[in-house]
Structure 1
């Protein structure tokens, strides 16, 4: 049971990729506004992880879900989108680092001649 007296089923608890990657939009879509704290610079570095960990609980408390299966079906869409966005972000970061490394290597090698 949470502070509002809402019982959060154990099946609902867990990581939510949608709340982690799309925190602000996810929060508005799920009528929970704590993810808006991600708008605060520097604090948001920690808060995105809080959103990922607590997102399902917040969404359950604020939502009008008739059962756990309906809740999981709704959050599954957010989770798929979040994990795809996370993978794309990692790929982009790796490619960016490789690109910068290649440019720096070319510059350093060009200066040696």
Structure 2
């Protein structure tokens, strides 16, 4: 079965949550030709929407990304589609975990510098 890129029915076995689209929203969108995902680049600059908008966009891409990618890009088969999307999910998780480790490390270093030196901040 070959995706015809924009036409035809979406196979049931590919419907469902897409971790790659969720974690790597705008990057995933470019490579899968799901242009609505580029909103994740613009939303942080809209004052009222900001980070909440990015989170909502990530959730929408997680929910609908597989269907949109199937319709937007050509795949040789359902198996190839699943393989490609699994790779995106793995890389998304790896980058997410690295980001968490960097944040926790940074917070720990800053907290150690502020509170672990024995210096008093009382005036």
Please give the range of the TM-score, normalised by the shorter of the 2 chains.
Answer: 0.7 to 0.9
Q: For structure 1, which runs of at least 5 residues remain unmatched after alignment?
A: none
- TM norm structure 1: 0.79
Give the Å deviation of 1:65.
2.2
**Once superposed, what is the RMSD of the aligned Cα atoms?**
2.3
Counterpart Cα distance in 1 of 2:87 and 2:10: 20
Kindly indicate whether structure 1 or structure 2 has the higher relative contact order, using CA contacts under 8 Å at least 6 residues apart: 2
Secondary structure of 2:86's aligned partner? helix
Q: For structure 2, which runs of at least 5 residues remain unmatched after alignment?
A: 1-5, 45-49
Corresponding residue number in structure 2 for 1:29 = 31
Give the Å deviation of 1:51.
1.6
* Count of paired positions: 109
Give the Å deviation of 1:19.
1.4
Q: Which residue, out of 101, 110, 113, partners 2:119? A: 110
